[in-house]
Structure 1
């Protein structure tokens, strides 16, 4: 089973640039070993269970909780049975249909 999650999480009380706070979350995800892809507007990651997906979100919040009074979060999930490795697979499928590699 594949739980493909796209989310963004950041403090709203830390000024205009929040990259130092987002970096904490990305470091945690990177160290967890789960597949992910950082985008300009959020992060996509994939797990095998709902519990794992929600645990990543929970751990992300824990990175900000100590010194952020207000945190904004958006979460989207695409849950599909009998499949895995969709982060790369979905992109490859579109690239094949275009007949070329999409710029990264």
Structure 2
């Protein structure tokens, strides 16, 4: 199974710049060992099970909470597909077969 999670998470009560807090979230995602891709508007993460993805979301929230964030905004989008893996890479490769290399 492949669970693709596109996530954005940041505090709304900690001033204008959010990079210090987002960096802490990305560091946790990096340490998780899951394949991920950081974009300017969110992060895409691939896990093998929905429970792994949901646990990671909770851990990301906990990082922000432990750093004094009292209000956190988050968006989550899932694409769950049985019988497949490595879709973070293969979905892009599928498009590139049709139009050539794309920006990554």
Q: TM-score, length-normalised on structure 2?
A: 0.96
Secondary structure in 2 matching 1:40: coil
1:47 corresponding residue in structure 2: 47
**Superposition misfits of 4+ residues, deviation over 3 angstroms:** none
Deviations 1:33-68 (A, max 9, x none): 100000000000011111101011011001100210
In structure 2, the gaps of 5 or more residues are: none
Structure 2 CA distance for aligned equivalents of residues 14 and 94 of structure 1: 39
1:1-104 mapped onto 2 (5 Å cutoff): 1-66=1-66, 67-98=68-99, 100-104=100-104
Cα RMSD over matched residues? 0.7
When the two structures are aligned, how many residues end up with a matched partner?
103
- What is the rounded CA distance, in whole Å, between the counterparts of 1:88 and 1:16 in structure 2? 33
**Matched position secondary structure for 1:69:** coil
Q: CA deviation at 1:103?
A: 2.1
- SS of 1:37's partner is strand
Per-residue deviation, residues 73-103 of structure 1 (Å, max 9, x unmatched): 10000000100000001111111110x2112
Q: Any gaps of 5 or more consecutive residues in structure 1?
A: none
